[in-house]
Homo-oligomer: A and B are copies of this chain.
Amino acid sequence: MAKIDDVARLAKVSKGTVSNVFSQKRPTSNEVRERVMSVSRQLNYVPNHTARSLVTKKTMAIGLTIPHGSFFFSAFHTQFINGVILEAASYGYRVLLDIIPVHEVKTPFLTSYPIDGAVVMRPTANDERITLMHMGQIPFVTVGHVMNENIEHSTSVDNDNAQMMSNICAYLVGKGHRDIMFLNANEHMTVSIDRRASFVEAMKEHGLDVEEHMIHHKPELNSSEYMDYGYEETMDILGKQQKKVTAIIADDDRTAFSVLNAVKDLNLSVPGDVSIFVICGDNSMMVQSNPSLTSMDLQPSELGAQSVRLLMHQLGVLQGEYEENIIVEGKIIERNSVSTIGSDEDRE
């Protein structure tokens, strides 16, 4: 590979000038610029990324830390990542996927993080990734709020879980549902904690009490119950226990599909006997489902883009004032899995 000195020599200029031609940090004359570029083309020269980084102290990469433990992508992750990559690229930044629990890096590999900042997805309570970023002086943006002690000032992007749950409940109650079962995400996730509380509160505002058996949490990824989440709960509560449930809020599309199966096995129908509302799923799947599933669109891609924009502000790439905590709207997308009940009395 040709280096800057080779170009400088052949173009009869100093390496500082060659540097300026490429970095465009100081002006260069047309004459010189063309000579340098011409020589560079001949030699196939391109500035060395690492050398540049060493002195500028910028790696032009941001980390994207996905929740570790058992690593897994859902539709939400997928679209979120999509948003992050595209937005980052528009600022010349690359995205480094990051799942290694840092304390496990063995000595000969141990180095500083080659990133300028990070987007941390779905932090858990006292998330160590966040503690590490904080210690390592790496600017970061979280998706979902931080729940670490000793860290107060943090920028984040999130859906308004309280507002969303409130909207969902209002939507369902407005359609006559009073017995709503909530199949929540895993209980360790901060979103899950928020949503649970908001759900109970929203129901209370409609004068409805939520009994314990109406809220469930997704089992751990590697547990044996994981794959049947939604099915088992539905069979148990609606079948065996014969509790009254007219609507089910499912955390994601897969859970909803499980519920769909259980409902079918109970010889009930959706949305005739039971309505289903999905919080987060793959739109194309939910459209193709039968019946198609009414859902909340969390706009994960928009969340991703916004998180990068926030990070760029922190890195000084974007100038000006900015909100430290951005809320992205969740939008209800009506499809065919929720019916209106009790309308008989209303209309007749």
Task: Provide the bound-state CA to CA distance between A238 and B72, in Å.
Answer: 38
Listed stretches A43-51, A188-196, A212-220; interface member: A43-51
Listed stretches A98-106, A162-170, A203-211; interface member: A98-106
Task: Provide the bound-state CA to CA distance between A305 and B46, in Å.
Answer: 31
CB distance A1 to B288 under 8 Å? no
Chain A, residues 78-101, CB within 8 Å of chain B (1/0): the string is 100110011001001011111110
Report A250-288 residues with CB < 8 Å from chain B CB: 253-254, 257-258, 260-261, 264, 284-285, 287-288
Task: Verify if A112 is at the interface (C-beta below 8 Å from B).
Answer: yes
CB distance B61 to A96 under 8 Å? yes
Task: Verify if A59 is at the interface (C-beta below 8 Å from B).
Answer: yes
Task: Verify if A242 is at the interface (C-beta below 8 Å from B).
Answer: no
A274 to chain B, nearest CB (A): 15
CB distance B47 to A50 under 8 Å? no
Task: Provide the bound-state CA to CA distance between A183 and B59, in Å.
Answer: 44
Task: Provide the bound-state CA to CA distance between A289 and B253, in Å.
Answer: 11
CB distance B85 to A71 under 8 Å? yes
Task: Provide the bound-state CA to CA distance between A96 and B53, in Å.
Answer: 16
Residues in B whose Cβ lies below 8 Å from that of A110: 22, 46-47
Task: Verify if A131 is at the interface (C-beta below 8 Å from B).
Answer: no
Report A23-74 residues with CB < 8 Å from chain B CB: 23-24, 44, 46-54, 59-61, 64, 71-73
Task: Verify if A150 is at the interface (C-beta below 8 Å from B).
Answer: no
A261 and B288 in contact, given A92-B105, A112-B46 (Cβ under 8 angstroms): yes
Task: Provide the bound-state CA to CA distance between A54 and B81, in Å.
Answer: 29
Residues in B whose Cβ lies below 8 Å from that of A50: 50, 53-54, 59, 112, 114
A59 and B100 in contact, given A50-B53, A287-B227 (Cβ under 8 angstroms): no
Task: Verify if A14 is at the interface (C-beta below 8 Å from B).
Answer: no
Of B61, B78, B106, B260, the contact of A73 (CB 8 Å cutoff): B78
CB distance A60 to B260 under 8 Å? no
Residues in B whose Cβ lies below 8 Å from that of A126: none
CB distance B46 to A254 under 8 Å? no
Q: A47-B111, A94-B100 are in contact. List 15 more A-B contacts (CB 8 A).
A: A1-B137, A22-B110, A44-B135, A53-B114, A64-B97, A71-B82, A71-B86, A73-B82, A89-B100, A92-B108, A94-B114, A254-B284, A257-B285, A257-B288, A261-B290
Q: Return 27 A-B CB contacts under 8 Å, by A number.
A: A23-B108, A24-B108, A46-B110, A46-B111, A46-B112, A47-B112, A48-B111, A49-B111, A49-B113, A50-B59, A60-B111, A61-B96, A71-B82, A73-B81, A73-B82, A85-B97, A85-B99, A86-B99, A89-B99, A92-B106, A94-B96, A94-B100, A94-B114, A95-B96, A257-B285, A257-B288, A260-B290
A residues contacting B by CB (< 8 A) are 1, 22-24, 44, 46-54, 59-61, 64, 71-73, 78, 81-82, 85-86, 89, 92, 94-100, 105-114, 135, 137, 227, 253-254, 257-258, 260-261, 264, 284-285, 287-290
